[in-house]
Amino acid sequence: MKKVLFFVMGVLLLVSCSEENKNTMYVKGSIKGLKKGTLYLQKQIDSLVISIDSVKVNGTQDFLLTDEVITPEMYYLTLDNSNKKIPFFGEKDTISITSRLDKFVLKAKISGSKNQALLDSYYVIKDKFRDQNLDLIKAEFEARKSANQDSILLVQNKLKNLVRRKYLYTTNFAINNADFEVAPYIALTELNDATLKLLDTINNSLSDKVKKSKYGIQLNEFVLKIKEDEK
């Protein structure tokens, strides 16, 4: 009877470990030039950024951090608990992060996360919109210096059109990637001041899996709050 009991307990333990490993995220990589320090794996819970795991680096550039990921979400790789944070979309699987100590954030390269790859592709276009916006702001400044009202109005109209184009591009990007958690994340971070129509369109396009995710739930709550406020 004891042998049977031990066997059952062993099977349950194996099943438990299997379930745990199935959701484990392994964050591994190396920081060139880092000889001594502490790396923290952090994420935001409510309004606080908390440490989930940490590893002391002493004489080696390599590191390994882990967390159990229930739903893909944003994490941070932080050096010495400072403001040097590499943001990345974490999900169950192995995430690889490499960087350099002197340019910890700027030189970060992240692989292994489909959501992160999609986010990176979005940011490439976002940067182009930002550059165009800066050019138009400069043009408006020059027009105001010369007191050219026609030029001022022209630039202001271009600025409005640019914002409209960015919102439409962001909305289409989220809809086209509605089966990934990056879709509601982008809606929450890039379209929080957009019209209800755009936000509601994204919210309704999300797959069932994404609707149940952390950012899917947050987006739905955000949309419902706007609807309630507009009554």
CATH number for the domain that contains residue 77: 2.60.40.1120
Could you tell me if 61 and 73 lie in one domain?
Answer: yes
Judged by DSSP in three states, 113 sits in: coil
CA distance 181 to 216: 7
Q: Is the pLDDT of residue 17 over 50?
A: no
pLDDT digits (tens, 9 = 90+) for 145-202: 888 888 989 999 999 999 999 999 999 999 999 999 999 999 999 999 999 999 999 9
- CA nearest neighbour of 71 among 202, 192, 180, 187: 180
Full residue range of the structural domain in which residue 86 is found: 25-112
Could you tell me if 37 and 93 lie in one domain?
Answer: yes
Residue 18, in any domain of the structure:
no
As beta bridge partners, residue 44 has: 49
Residue 11, in any domain of the structure:
no
The pair of three-digit structure tokens given for residue 158, joined into one six-digit string = 């271009």
Could you tell me if 96 and 160 lie in one domain?
Answer: no
Asked if 29 contacts 2 with a C-beta cutoff of 8 angstroms, the reply is: no
Q: Is the pLDDT of residue 203 over 70?
A: yes
Could you tell me if 143 and 76 lie in one domain?
Answer: no
Number of domains into which the chain is organized: 2
Helices (runs of H) and strands (runs of E) counted in the chain: 7, 8
